[in-house]
């Protein structure tokens, strides 16, 4: 990007220093792998304001973004990593989208009406045009929905549409979706943060299940179009003039895929990028110390917690579960292992998912009303003494290699559990193997879940519903959750969700540990307004500006 950047490359005189530090980096990387966390940064709390630096009002000709992974296909229905969502979201729209507060907002539909608990009527806006200049019609949208539901065209997201009964054209500019059961979460499905990306019918037909590849580039109605894509190398998006909204300041965005964490950090230090997504928390201090760099943290709506299979011994005994709950020092985990980059979780819903009703701070207060288990080893011993295994037992707990902090936390509370007689056998698994193990309902397991929508019931409806990973059943909770599913008044629904989660807390089938944060790095020449956990899912280039 043109403009001044404080990050200079090292001088030749600094060569020796460079070589020595190179060795340090290597050994540090090995060390991090070994202990799963970086040394604690001195600061706590937020790592700098996102909107630092005055807005110069100038255009950004080229924004270079370093992505921590490789994209082979740009269509999230095929390859549905979070990075695919960030890229596709500024090119293709859904009927609805999301704003930075996490509320559902109109996109290609100018208006949504819920005429009955299972019927949603979308009025299609008449001023929307695809990148090729053709107008967006109800037929294009219906065809896109059909493609999104088709397991061949969208293998990753077709299953999200399971609750759709039918999609019909109910007027020249109107589409009606009806769901099989009343479910508040249904409203999120036709959005580009969940399972719908709208392209012209002709483009789908021409692509023949290959949309999103380098041969059939994405076509949409968003503010940017794909102008160059080399799978596993880079993708370039260019601002279009067919966009009906405010013209974003960034003319061109080039995403470079640099999967290796160390290489990406080197590229950043060499001033090869202006923005880097998902900065690994274990490396955050090295990023923060790079010249002209701001590392910005935001809650990422992730939930980390323990799941007890209540049908497996010895976790079928509520005293065992309560003993563990009392033995886990969640405050210490957040402070010492996450270095404050997270929040003690009191519920399955994250505070950021109550957008439109409460701010995250208000939601945190409301969720704190759910009964909690204080860290108290004496109490833990008493509970264990009342259980079927008063002398303790051994249990296995595995965590995915992509979340080393989960392992460090497990070792930390494992040490406390040892004091009350419970031996925790902690092991790391490749993410693929860990996912497969979750399918087998292990007696004790971690859940590390990234909520994709802003629906506060997203995780709760799974964890407290049928087929949940804890094999937990509670008739009262089932009733409450059914009411919450049909309730469309946000305040009443939130109250019902909290009621259900309070009832769950008494049984401790799930022990929430923390809500996570993730970080992005920005060069000093780029600023961002309203950076929240939703910004990258919304029309995010609109929030960027050239900073001074």
Partner 1 sequence: MLAFVLRRAGATLLLLLALSLLVFGLLYLAPGDVARNLLGTRNVTPEALAQIRARYHLDDPFLQQYWRWLTHAVTGDFGTSIRTGRPIGPLMLEKTGITAATAGLAFLLSVLVGVPAGIATAVRRGRWLDRVLVTVSVVGVSAPGFAIGLLLLYVFALGLGWFPIYGTGEGFLDSLWHLALPAVALALGLGAFVVKLTRAAVIRELDQDYVTFARGRGLSEGATLRIVLRNAAIPIVTSLGLMVAYLFGGTVLIEVTFALPGLGSLMEESVLFKDIPVVQALTLAVAFVVSAAAFLVDLSYLLIDPRVRARAVRR
Residues at the contact surface with partner 1, assessed by CB under 8 A: 9-10, 12, 14-15, 18-19, 21-23, 25-26, 70, 72-73, 78-80, 151-152, 155-156, 158-159, 162, 209-210, 213-215, 230-234, 256-260, 262-263, 266-267, 269-270, 272, 429-433, 435-439, 447-450, 452, 461-462, 467
User: Tokens representing 517?
Assistant: 């944060």
User: Tokens representing 425?
Assistant: 């056998």
Least distance from C-beta 200 to partner 1, angstroms? 20
- Bridge partners, residue 448, by sequence: 304
Least distance from C-beta 448 to partner 1, angstroms? 7
Least distance from C-beta 431 to partner 1, angstroms? 8
- Residues 6 or more apart in contact with residue 417 via CB below 8 angstroms: 324, 327, 423, 424
User: Tokens representing 474?
Assistant: 């509670």
Q: Which is nearer to partner 1, 81 or 106 (CB)?
A: 81
Q: Which is nearer to partner 1, 49 or 402 (CB)?
A: 402
Q: Which is nearer to partner 1, 47 or 403 (CB)?
A: 403
Q: Which is nearer to partner 1, 173 or 209 (CB)?
A: 209
Local structure of residue 88 (DSSP, 8 states): H
Least distance from C-beta 391 to partner 1, angstroms? 33
Element (H, E) at 119: strand 119-124
Burial 404-440 (b: 16+ CB within 10 A, else e): bbbbbbbbbbbebbeebbbebebebeeeeebeeebee
User: Tokens representing 26?
Assistant: 């290597």
φ/ψ bin of 471: left (φ > 0), alpha (ψ from -120 to 50), beta (otherwise):
left
Q: Which is nearer to partner 1, 62 or 436 (CB)?
A: 436
Q: Which is nearer to partner 1, 108 or 447 (CB)?
A: 447
Q: Which is nearer to partner 1, 27 or 386 (CB)?
A: 27
CA 201 to chain centre: 30
Least distance from C-beta 352 to partner 1, angstroms? 18
Least distance from C-beta 382 to partner 1, angstroms? 34
Quickly count: other Cβ atoms within 10 Å of residue 545's Cβ: 22
Least distance from C-beta 530 to partner 1, angstroms? 27
Least distance from C-beta 364 to partner 1, angstroms? 24
- Residues 6 or more apart in contact with residue 146 via CB below 8 angstroms: 167
Strand-pair category, 60-67 with 119-124: unpaired
Q: Which is nearer to partner 1, 84 or 532 (CB)?
A: 84
Q: Are 359 and 434 a contacting pair, CB within 8 Å?
A: no
Give helix 318-327 / helix 404-419 axis angle, nearest 10°. Answer: 110
Q: Are 136 and 144 a contacting pair, CB within 8 Å?
A: no
**Cα gap 426→258, rounded to integer Å:** 31
Q: Which is nearer to partner 1, 173 or 213 (CB)?
A: 213
User: Tokens representing 437?
Assistant: 């193990």
Least distance from C-beta 340 to partner 1, angstroms? 25
């Amino acid at each position: 990007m043109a403009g001044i950047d404080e990050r200079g490359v090292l001088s030749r005189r600094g060569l020796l220093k460079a070589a020595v530090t190179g060795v340090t980096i290597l050994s540090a990387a090995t060390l991090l792998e070994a202990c799963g966390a970086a040394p604690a940064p001195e600061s706590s709390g937020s790592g700098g304001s996102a909107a630092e630096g005055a807005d110069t009002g100038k255009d950004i000709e080229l924004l270079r973004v370093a992505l921590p992974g490789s994209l082979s296909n740009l269509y999230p229905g095929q390859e549905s990593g979070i990075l695919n969502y960030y890229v596709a979201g500024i090119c293709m729209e859904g009927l609805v989208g999301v704003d930075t507060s996490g509320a559902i907002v109109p996109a290609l539909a100018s208006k949504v009406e819920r005429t009955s608990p299972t019927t949603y009527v979308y009025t299609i806006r008449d001023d929307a045009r695809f990148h090729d200049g053709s107008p967006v019609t109800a037929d294009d949208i219906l065809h896109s929905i059909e493609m999104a539901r088709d397991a061949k065209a969208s293998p990753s997201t077709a299953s999200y549409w399971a609750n759709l009964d039918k999609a019909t054209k109910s007027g020249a500019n109107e589409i009606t979706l009806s769901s099989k059961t009343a479910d508040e979460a249904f409203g999120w499905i036709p959005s580009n943060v969940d399972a719908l990306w709208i392209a012209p019918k002709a483009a789908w037909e021409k692509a023949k299940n290959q949309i999103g590849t380098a041969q059939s580039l994405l076509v949409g109605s968003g503010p940017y179009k794909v102008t160059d894509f080399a799978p596993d190398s880079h993708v370039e998006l260019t601002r279009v003039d067919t966009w009906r909204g405010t013209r974003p300041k960034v003319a061109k965005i080039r995403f470079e895929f640099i999967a290796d964490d160390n290489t990406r950090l080197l590229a950043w230090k060499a001033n090869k990028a202006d923005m880097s997504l998902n900065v690994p928390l274990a490396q955050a201090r090295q990023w923060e110390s790079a010249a002209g760099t701001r590392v910005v943290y935001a809650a990422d709506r992730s939930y980390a917690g323990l799941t007890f299979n209540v049908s497996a011994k010895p976790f079928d005994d509520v005293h065992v579960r309560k003993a563990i709950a009392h033995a886990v020092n969640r405050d210490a985990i957040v402070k010492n292992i996450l270095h404050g980059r997270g929040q003690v979780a009191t519920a399955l819903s994250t505070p950021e998912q109550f957008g439109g009703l409460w701010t995250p701070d208000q939601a945190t207060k409301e969720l704190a009303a759910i009964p909690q288990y204080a860290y108290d080893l004496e109490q833990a011993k008493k509970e264990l003494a009342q259980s079927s295994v008063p002398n303790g037992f051994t249990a296995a707990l595995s965590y995915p290699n992509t979340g080393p902090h989960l392992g460090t936390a497990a070792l930390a509370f494992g040490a406390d559990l040892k004091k009350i007689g419970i031996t925790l056998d902690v092991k790391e698994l490749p993410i693929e193997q860990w996912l497969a193990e979750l399918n087998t309902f292990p007696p004790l397991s971690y859940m590390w879940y990234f909520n994709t929508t802003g629906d506060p019931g997203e995780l709760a409806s799974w964890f407290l519903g049928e087929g949940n990973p804890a094999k937990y059943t509670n008739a009262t909770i089932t009733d409450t959750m059914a009411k919450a599913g049909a309730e469309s008044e946000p305040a009443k629904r939130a109250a019902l969700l909290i009621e259900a989660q309070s009832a769950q807390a008494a049984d401790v089938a799930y022990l929430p540990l923390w809500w996570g944060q993730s970080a992005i790095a920005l060069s000093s020449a780029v600023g961002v307004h309203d950076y929240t956990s939703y910004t990258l899912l919304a029309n995010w280039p609109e929030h960027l500006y050239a900073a001074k």
